[in-house]
Amino acid sequence: MRWAIVRFPGANCDEDARFALEKAGIRAEFVWHTERDLRGFDGVFLPGGFSYGDYLRAGALAAKSPVMEAVRRFAEEGRYVVGVCNGFQILTEAGLLPGALLANLNLHFTCKEVGVRVERNDLPFTRLYPRGQVLRLPIAHGEGRYYADPETLARLEGEGLVVFRYAPLKDEADYNPNGSLHDIAGIVSEKGNVLGMMPHPERAVDEVLGNTDGLPFFLGLVREVAR
Beta strands in 98-151 (DSSP E): 100-102, 110-118, 134-141, 145-147
- 141 flagged as catalytic: no
Q: Which of 13, 33, 85, 93 is catalytic?
A: 85
- 202 flagged as catalytic: yes
Member of 110, 121, 133, 189 binding other proteins (CB under 8 A): 110
Site membership for other proteins, residue 103 (CB under 8 A): no
Q: By CB under 8 A, what part of segment 15-34 binds other proteins?
A: 15-16, 19-20
Site membership for other proteins, residue 35 (CB under 8 A): no
CA distances (Å), origin 24, targets 73, 98, 220 = 26, 29, 9
Q: Render the burial of 2-30: b for 16+ CB within 10 Å, e for the rest.
A: ebbbbbbebbebbebbbbbbebbebebee
Member of 40, 150, 158, 210 binding other proteins (CB under 8 A): 210
Q: CA angle, 136 as apex, 6 and 99 as ends, to 5°?
A: 50
The helix (H) or strand (E) run that includes residue 14 is helix 14-23
- 159 flagged as catalytic: no
Member of 202, 215, 216, 221 binding other proteins (CB under 8 A): 202
Output 120 or 203, the one with its CB closest to other proteins: 203
Positions touching other proteins (CB under 8 A) are 9-10, 12-13, 15-16, 19-20, 48-50, 52-55, 106, 108-112, 138, 140, 142, 200, 202-203, 205-206, 208-210
